[in-house]
Amino acid sequence: MTDHTLKAYDKELETLERRIAEMGGIAEKMVIDAMDALSNSDAALAQAVIVSDERLDALQREIEEAAILTIARRQPMAIDLREIIGAIRVAGDLERVGDLAKNIAKRSLKIGGEPRSRREIVGLKHMNDVATELLKDVLDAYAQRDMDRARAVWERDVELDALEDSVFRDLLTHMMEDPRNISYCAHLLFCSKNVERIGDHATNIAETVFYLVTGHPLPGERPKGAPEPSALASEASA
Banded pLDDT at 217 (limits 50, 70, 90)? confident
83: domain CATH number? 1.20.58.220
Would the pLDDT of 30 be above 50? yes
Report yes or no on whether pTM surpasses 0.85: yes
Q: Is residue 235 part of a domain?
A: no
Q: What gap in Å lies between CA 20 and CA 42, rounded to an integer?
A: 29
Q: What is the pLDDT of residue 115?
A: 67
Would the pLDDT of 198 be above 50? yes
Q: Is residue 1 part of a domain?
A: no
> pLDDT per residue over 46-63, tens digit each?
999 999 999 999 999 999
Q: Is residue 179 part of a domain?
A: yes
Q: Is residue 59 part of a domain?
A: yes
Q: Is residue 233 part of a domain?
A: no
How buried is 23 (Cβ within 10 angstroms: 0-12 exposed, 13-18 middle, 19+ buried)? buried
Q: What gap in Å lies between CA 112 and CA 85, rounded to an integer?
A: 41
Residue 238 DSSP code? -
Would the pLDDT of 12 be above 90? no
Q: What gap in Å lies between CA 201 and CA 143, rounded to an integer?
A: 16
Radius of gyration of the chain (CA): 19
Banded pLDDT at 219 (limits 50, 70, 90)? confident
Banded pLDDT at 237 (limits 50, 70, 90)? very low
Which structural domain, as residue segments, surrounds residue 216? 7-228
Q: Is residue 126 part of a domain?
A: yes
Q: What is the pLDDT of residue 194?
A: 98
> pLDDT per residue over 148-196, tens digit each?
999 999 999 999 999 999 999 999 998 999 888 898 999 999 999 999 9
Would the pLDDT of 108 be above 70? yes
Q: What is the pLDDT of residue 6?
A: 63
Q: Is residue 203 part of a domain?
A: yes
Q: What is the pLDDT of residue 227?
A: 46
Q: Is residue 193 part of a domain?
A: yes
Arithmetic mean of pLDDT, 211-223:
81
Q: What is the pLDDT of residue 37?
A: 95
Q: Is the alpha carbon torsion for 131, 133, 136, 137 positive or negative?
A: negative
Q: How far is CA 194 from CA 103, 132, 187, 227, in A?
A: 7, 12, 11, 13
Total of domains in the chain:
1
Q: What is the pLDDT of residue 222?
A: 67
| Residue 194 contacts residue 103 (beta carbons within 8 Å) | yes
Question: Could you tell me which residue, 233 or 37, shows the higher pLDDT?
Answer: 37
Would the pLDDT of 232 be above 50? no
